[in-house]
Structure 1
Amino acid sequence: MTTIELPPELEAGAAARWRELIETLADARRRYPDAALASSLAAEDMVLTHAIFDAGLDLEVFTLDTGRLHAETLGVLDAIRQRYGREVTIYRPDAAAVDAHVAAHGAYAFYESVELRKACCQIRKVEPLKRALAGRGAWITGQRRAQSATRGELAREEQDATFGLYKFNPLADWSEAEVWTVIRAQGIPYNPLHDQGYPSIGCEPCTRALRPGEDLRAGRWWWESSDSKECGLHAGNRVIAIAPVGDAGRP
């Protein structure tokens, strides 16, 4: 197994977390050589991307360009290219399906009902993800339990019944502070919107900055109730009651 040199500035707890993460990702690669990281280009996924590229793990990293991402989010792709000399595979929605949905319901129909919002997510995110996962044995995500009520019982690895393959969530029990400790210590590039009150970043029309006291996913689809705040990519997540999480650890 490749020896991973830990930066001396990482404190003991973060260093142990980092070593465990590399081992988890390397184990996922051994068990599922075709596994890939589905990256939203958010902070958690940048930690995973850095771990994969820095450790030289032969794992693909891909992202979904919905056609409605913030310019800052798309800019992260350039930052990855400059830092690691690697490309992130990009999957986009079927243009004809997008045009048909907009023609039938309007460009902003997702504000009208949960059903129309999920229909938009289905076209722009779920269908491209299905293409990205087709033929694979496993995928990797940056989900954490503390992010929302729908992720409170998230397992570190599980069988994904929704997409019919295995799923690794190696940051499931990480705190937000741990994520940002690693980002700061290793100088990992990240979306500048995180510095503007956006801990969770999706499509531009469906994401806003947090207000004081709100939980980490409150800025996503803020016009909906908290029990519906998934887009279908992680449809198997269970809803449980959790206390609001603060923003300790963010820069």
Structure 2
Amino acid sequence: MALKNEHITVNKYTRPGAKRGSTKGIILHYTANPGASADNHRRYFGNGGGGRYAGAHIFIDSKESLCIVPLNEVCYHANDVQKYVGGKAYRGASGKLGANANLSTIGIEMCIEKDGTIAAATFNQAVEVTADLCKTYKLDTDDLYRHYDVTGKNCPAPWVSKSSEWTRFKNAVKAKLGGKTVTTASKKKETAADKVKGTIKTLDKLNYYDGPRWNKATGTVAKGTVLTVTDRIYVGGAYQYKTVSGTYITASSKFVKFTAK
């Protein structure tokens, strides 16, 4: 892995020292700090990050990739409250990552140039690091998220305003993993439904939800349950199936097996 370990000291704001459980995803961010390098951010967060509960595991610029917090530890990078749905903090991928994504993900921050862009070299290094992490933790591009996908924050802003760049990134990671490229996200509209007819069989115990944005878990489905589905919804950077009963469940092939009718 093209990654240097330069861990900051444990402190309550930017490296709390708590251990994480399993790794279910990787979340991509940008620093929103034009011209500042990965090492600039290492020193900033090493000094307590201005007394804010914030940070990330990895910072990448056009020259280097630095791991400033051990990957098996918690970072405060993806549980911020940006908007509310039904009176509760929006969590776009809670069905896969849990209610607090900090406990199940690795956070990667990409540094931006003085003009606010993500340099090609930074992009390429982020691809390399992300692909290596996917191999290490047995993840795929379905397990990659923008900060935006998880809490609704405009981050990484260049990939929110231009979703084709996010797709290009995932395609590049997919190529490193030896797989086919992913469907172009820029051609999808959130919550647009693909009319599908068939059944799914759950491969694990799963939550089901009352709406297509992981709004509220209304129950659980046992492993091995067969459900009839009518739609496949793209929302929050991931697909969900709509069942005949009107509930929603993840469409990830890691958790359900679809059979067409």
Superposition TM-score tier, normalisation by shorter sequence: under 0.3
| The structure with more helix, counted as a fraction of residues | 1
TM-score, length basis structure 1: 0.26
| The structure with more strand, counted as a fraction of residues | 2
Q: Which has the higher contact order (CA 8 A, sep 6+)?
A: 1
TM-score, length basis structure 2: 0.25
